[in-house]
Amino acid sequence: MGELLPVECGACGWTGRRKPGRAVWCPKCGSLAGFQVDLQDRDSDGLLVKAGDTISFSFGIPPRRVEGILFERDGQLIMPCEGVTPKEATLDMLRRHVGGFWKVDRLARDQYADDA
């Protein structure tokens, strides 16, 4: 059936849950409550990434690894970047400034934690 995502009407404040990828009309006031888009992109290895996935990048000499969980805001996928500036970056910013990013799956995260 598919995952239901939260949606909110900017005019009256109504909230509800709907399938992604559809225009949502507010049942309370009739205005356009939101247009849900299932945002996806590809990492440097060509793997599909979406909100909720963990990605990482590295920069500097010696290399410093930064890891974060993607979230969606204003129609863009954004990665929080703890401990570095800027505090968050879009995927286009990562490509431009550090060259790329990689999806980190659960097995890779567990292995990385064991090495530390």
pLDDT in tens, 30-89: 887 765 556 788 999 888 898 888 999 999 999 999 999 998 887 788 999 988 989 999
31 lies in the same domain as 60? no
Query: What pLDDT is recorded for position 11?
Result: 76
For 37, 83, 116, the CA distances from 14, given in Å and listed in that order, are 19, 36, 46
79/89 Cα distance (integer angstroms): 5
Query: What pLDDT is recorded for position 101?
Result: 93
Domain that holds residue 95: 40-115
50 lies in the same domain as 67? yes
Residue 62 belongs to domain with CATH number: 2.30.30
25 lies in the same domain as 70? no
Contact 25, 33 (CB under 8 A): yes
28 lies in the same domain as 82? no
21 lies in the same domain as 49? no
Length of the chain: 116
99 lies in the same domain as 52? yes
